[in-house]
């Protein structure tokens, strides 16, 4: 089970790295001047590739997490695991929201400012902190 846990941590860390960086690209996209087509296309290409790569990392992270959940479920756990799973669902939602935002940029439909994306970029940091505290401390 330790191998499963180790690889789960690796894939979660890699997935979150993508979730930390993708909104930073959105910040830059929101700041691109309307006449800077080359810069916009370069940032869109980076965002598309990062989203695809991050999506591929999410799959084993969640799969290995489910494997661990099944192991804990048999032995019984406290409420911390239920709270963690709820937060992971939020992270998956955040991941998919990034795709929707990327589509808006692709369609020239973004209405949000770079400041909004700077705040949006902090969401996965907060979620990761709370998830790690729940897993390590198991407060309930």
For tokens 């591929």, name the residue: 56
Exposure letters 36-58 (e unless 16+ CB within 10 A, then b): eeeebeebbeebeebbeebeebb
Would you say residue 75 has pLDDT above 90?
no
Would you say residue 71 has pLDDT above 90?
no
Contact 2, 96 (CB under 8 A): no
The vertex-137 CA angle with 135 and 138, nearest 5°, equals 65
| Residue 11: strand, helix, or coil | helix
The pLDDT score that the predictor gives to residue 26 is: 98
Predicted confidence (pLDDT) per residue in 89-130, tens digit: 999 999 999 999 999 999 999 999 999 999 999 999 999 999
Predicted confidence (pLDDT) per residue in 14-65, tens digit: 999 999 999 999 999 999 998 999 999 999 999 999 999 999 999 999 999 9
* Residue 33 Ramachandran class (φ > 0 left, ψ -120 to 50 alpha, else beta): beta
Half-sphere exposure of 37 (CA within 13 A, CB side): 0
C-alpha span between 66 and 136 (Å, rounded): 18
- Provide the whole-model pTM: 0.93
């Amino acid at each position: 089970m330790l191998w499963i846990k180790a690889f789960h941590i690796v894939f979660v860390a890699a997935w979150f790295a993508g979730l930390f960086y993708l909104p930073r690209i959105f910040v830059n996209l929101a700041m691109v001047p309307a006449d800077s087509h080359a810069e916009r296309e370069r940032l869109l290409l980076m965002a598309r590739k990062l989203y695809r790569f991050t999506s591929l990392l999410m799959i084993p992270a969640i799969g290995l997490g489910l494997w661990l959940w099944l192991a804990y479920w048999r032995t019984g756990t406290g409420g911390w695991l239920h709270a963690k799973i709820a937060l992971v669902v939020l992270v998956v939602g955040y991941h998919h929201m990034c795709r929707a935002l990327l589509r808006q940029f692709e369609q020239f439909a973004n209405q949000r400012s770079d400041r909004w994306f700077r705040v949006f970029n902090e969401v996965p940091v907060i979620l990761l902190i709370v998830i790690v505290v729940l897993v390590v401390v198991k407060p309930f």
